[in-house]
Structure formats: C-alpha cells, structure tokens
C-alpha cells in the first residue's frame, strides 16, 4: 500500500473488524422476520446499536442505520424540509442555515433543496480558519424563520473544529434544531451526542475502519419529526429497508476499536502530524498550514503550496507510493479549486494548491520520514509543471 496518508477519506479495515464482519455475513435471516433466524439477526442489530451508542453518547433507540454518512446527511436536511411542508402546507417557506465550507454531501443536498423545493439557503460566513462566524449565525437565525441549522463538527478538509456547543445554544434560543455532520470527527475527538444538545448527527463506518456502505443518523428522541428519505417499510425511525446486521455489527466493532485507539494513542497521532509538518516546512518553507492550529483534528495537516497545483502534487506523490488528497472536486477532468479554501477568503490560485495529509493511528515514524524525504523533489517537479491557468 506504500504510505497511506488519506485516513480522512477512508480507513483500512483492521483484521479484528474483518473477522467480525465475515463471521456475521455467514448468518441468515431477515432482522424483521419473527422466526428464530430472523430474531438472531435482529439481536445483532440491537447489540450494534447499544455498542455504538455507548461510544457516541446517545440512547440506542436514537441510532438509525443508513447506507453511509451521505444518506444520513440527506435524511436530516431533506427530512426537516419535507416535515415542515407536511406540517404547515406544501407552499410553506423553508430555510436551511449552513456555510459554504461544508462537505459536498451537505452542499449538494442544499443545492437540490434550493432547486426542487424552493428552500432558501442562508449562508453563514466562515473565518480564515474555516470556522463558522457565530455573530453572523446569531443574526441569521433571529432574522429568518429557519427550519434547520447544519454544520460540521470538524471540517473534513482543513480539520478545524467547529464551536458546536455555541452553535447549538444560539440556534436553540431561536427555536431552530441543529444537525451536525460528525463523519470526519468520529474516532478522533471526544464525542457525546447528548452533550452536544443537537437534534441530529451523522456518522459513517468506513471512516473508522468499518465497512463501506454503513452509517447512521443519530436522531434525538426529542427532535422534531423528520420525514423519511427512503420508504418501503417500518424497519427504523425515518428509514425503510432491510437492516444490514453484519454491517451494523462490524460498524460497532470498528467504533469501539477506534475509541480505544483514541484514548490510548491520540497524543502519538498528533505528534506524528506535527513531525510531518516540521519536516515539510523545513524542506519547503513557503508552504502555509490552513485551518485552526489550536482546535483541529489531531491527524489533519492541510497545506497550500505556492506555485503548485494540488492535483499535480497528488499524482507525483502517488507515483512515489504516497497516497494523500487534494480535497478539491474534479468535474469533467478539469481540476477545481478547493471550495473550503475559497470559503475561507483565499483566491483561486491559492486554493488550487491545496493538499491534505491525514495521518492515522497506525502511521509510523518511518512513514513520516519517507514522505519528508520525497516531498521537496515533488514540489520542485510540480512547480516546474506550472499552474493550470498558466501562472
């Protein structure tokens, strides 16, 4: 695999999680069936709920299993709008409050709601570190009859932690529920849904070494009613469909393992990240770290490299066996600047030079040394290639 430094995109599945997953896949029975085989599968699902709930600080009944973080986010956003329309009429004005620095799962869902449901999107600015501006939020939620506020717990690109407690307090004072995208934060920072005092929270299994295609929407028992995104049965609150017992169980195993690693090794993870930063800045002094230096994910290192295209850096590093991310979207083969960096107030040339290293709990000192030895020559070659706009 070379040196894998893209843990925020997905994490490798540990052997212990794989064993649990494969063993559970051998089982038979629909968890909604009332015969013994079905009830054994149902027991696995309920066990998974309890185990995940203990880690994320919620009640088991509040966990709604989904196909991943994207479905969970879409369920929260679209479900809130549709519920408001069902309650007060199809022509009821709806407003969702968010920032332009969110994950595309949120941004694309907001765009869809704007286009298809006429939902107004009230944009809260972020500061130069990608953190939501609380003064602006307060003005917006008090001036708009908002349906929902949605925010990241930690920015998936630049790693900045958001002031969710304050966001929740300000929103609650205006009578507006809050959804939190905690996909990037799970397994890296302490997480307690009940302490956050929000209505809903999205998480995903593969980010913590679980299976792809499994996630959850944590939906408070006291939250306003959301309309389901998927219909076809009453298997769960706000979601229909046969429950994936093996996936849920593997998710629980992965979450517990990652929580143990967080408690035991988060300082080592942060030190590896800081060592990498020290090596890179020593070799290429003009790189700039983006995002908060004080309140950020412990394994996240997001930089911009002047005079370089992030995509070129990514390809050159990949040729050397080093996997990282740019965080930018690519439409029809044309590189686009990072929307997060643009939202932070930087220009397109700077945003196109974005590169994200995400260190994992199993990243070694040798891995860091390998990247440090290769990075200067990669930057030199990338600068020789020039920028896409000809600069």
CATH label of the domain that carries residue 88: 3.40.640.10
Task: Check whether residue 106 and residue 222 sit in a common domain.
Answer: yes
Give the C-alpha separation, 234 to 298, whole Å.
Answer: 40
Beta strands in the chain, from DSSP E residues, in sequence order: 3-4, 63-66, 95-98, 120-123, 148-152, 178-181, 200-204, 215-219, 288-289, 300-304, 322-323, 330-331, 334-335, 354-358
CA dihedral 367, 370, 376, 381 (to 10 degrees): -100
Q: Is residue 391 part of a domain?
A: no
* CA max distance for the chain: 68
Q: What's the pLDDT at 233?
A: 85
Task: Check whether residue 27 and residue 128 sit in a common domain.
Answer: yes
Answer for the pair 69, 105: CB distance below 8 angstroms, yes or no: yes
Q: What is the pTM of this model?
A: 0.95
Which of 219, 238, 256 is the last residue before a domain boundary? 256
Task: Check whether residue 185 and residue 334 sit in a common domain.
Answer: no
Dihedral sign from CA coordinates of 189, 193, 199, 202: positive
Q: What's the pLDDT at 335?
A: 67
Q: What's the pLDDT at 387?
A: 59
Q: How many helices (H) and strands (E) does the chain have?
A: 12, 14
Q: Is residue 224 part of a domain?
A: yes
Q: What's the pLDDT at 388?
A: 53
Q: What's the pLDDT at 336?
A: 80
User: What's the number of domains the chain is made of?
Assistant: 2
Task: Check whether residue 349 and residue 232 sit in a common domain.
Answer: no
Structure tokens at 391: 């600069």
Task: Check whether residue 153 and residue 298 sit in a common domain.
Answer: no
Q: What's the pLDDT at 391?
A: 46
Which of 225, 256, 287 is the last residue before a domain boundary? 256
Decide if 58 is catalytic: no
Give the C-alpha separation, 123 to 116, whole Å.
Answer: 18
Structure tokens at 301: 């290192």
Tokens 């408070």 -> residue? 220
Answer for the pair 255, 187: CB distance below 8 angstroms, yes or no: yes
Q: How far is CA 228 from CA 144, 217, 240, 320, 334, in A?
A: 25, 12, 8, 46, 36
Task: Check whether residue 148 and residue 199 sit in a common domain.
Answer: yes
pLDDT in tens, 209-230: 999 999 999 999 999 889 999 8
pLDDT in tens, 290-340: 999 999 999 999 999 999 999 999 999 999 999 999 875 554 455 688 999
CATH number at residue 368: 3.90.1150.10
Q: Is residue 390 part of a domain?
A: no
How many beta carbons lie within 10 A of that of residue 85, not counting itself?
19
Q: Is residue 45 part of a domain?
A: yes
Task: Check whether residue 134 and residue 58 sit in a common domain.
Answer: yes
Which of 198, 226, 256 is the last residue before a domain boundary? 256
CA end-to-end distance (rounded Å), the chain: 34
Give the C-alpha separation, 359 to 89, whole Å.
Answer: 48
List, in sequence order, every residue forming a beta bridge with 302; answer none if it has no partner.
356
Question: How far does Cα 20 stand from its chain's mean position?
Answer: 25
**pLDDT less than 50: residues of the chain:** 331-332, 389-391
Backbone angles phi, psi at 218, to 5 degrees: -90, 115
* Candidates 330, 347, 364, 365; catalytic one: 330
CA dihedral 257, 64, 199, 255 (to 10 degrees): 0
Q: What's the pLDDT at 332?
A: 41
Answer for the pair 355, 302: CB distance below 8 angstroms, yes or no: yes
The three-class DSSP label of residue 152 is: strand
Which residue range(s) make up the domain with 314? 3-8+265-385
Q: At what angle do helices 365-385 and 310-319 cross, to 10 degrees?
A: 130
């Amino acid at each position: 695999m070379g040196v894998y430094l893209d843990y925020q995109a997905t994490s490798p599945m540990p052997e212990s999680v794989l064993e649990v997953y494969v063993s559970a896949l051998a089982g038979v029975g629909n968890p909604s069936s009332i015969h013994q085989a079905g009830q054994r599968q149902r027991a696995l699902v309920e066990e998974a709920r309890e185990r995940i709930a203990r880690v994320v600080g919620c009640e088991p009944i509040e966990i709604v299993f989904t196909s991943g973080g994207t479905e969970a986010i879409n369920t929260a956003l679209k479900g809130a709008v549709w519920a408001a329309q069902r309650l007060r009429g199809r022509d009821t004005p709806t407003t969702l409050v968010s920032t332009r620095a969110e994950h595309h799962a949120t941004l694309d869902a907001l765009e869809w709601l704007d286009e298809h449901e006429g939902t107004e999107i009230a944009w809260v600015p972020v500061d130069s570190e990608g953190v939501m501006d609380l003064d602006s939020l307060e003005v917006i939620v008090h001036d708009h009859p908002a349906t929902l506020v949605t925010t990241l717990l930690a920015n998936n690109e630049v790693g900045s932690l958001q002031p969710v407690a304050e966001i929740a307090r300000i929103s609650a004072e205006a009578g507006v529920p809050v959804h939190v995208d905690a996909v990037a934060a799970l397994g890296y920072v302490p997480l307690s849904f009940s302490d956050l005092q929000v209505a809903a929270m999205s998480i995903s299994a593969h980010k913590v070494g679980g299976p792809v295609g499994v996630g959850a929407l944590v939906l408070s028992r006291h939250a306003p009613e959301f309309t389901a995104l998927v219909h076809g049965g009453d298997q769960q609150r706000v979601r229909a469909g046969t429950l994936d017992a093996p996936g849920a169980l593997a998710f629980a195993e992965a979450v517990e393992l990652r929580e143990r690693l967080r408690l035991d090794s988060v300082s080592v993870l942060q030190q590896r990240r800081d060592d990498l930063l020290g090596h890179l800045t020593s070799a290429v002094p003009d790189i700039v770290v983006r995002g908060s230096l004080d309140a950020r994910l412990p394994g996240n290192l997001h930089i911009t490299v002047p005079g370089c295209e992030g995509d070129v850096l990514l390809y050159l590093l990949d040729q050397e066996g080093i996997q990282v991310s740019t965080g930018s979207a690519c439409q029809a083969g044309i590189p686009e600047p990072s929307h997060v960096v643009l939202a932070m107030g930087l220009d397109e040339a700077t945003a196109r030079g974005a590169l994200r290293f995400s260190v994992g709990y199993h990243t070694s000192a040798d891995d860091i040394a390998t990247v440090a030895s290769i990075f200067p020559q990669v930057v030199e070659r990338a600068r020789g290639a020039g920028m896409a706009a000809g600069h």
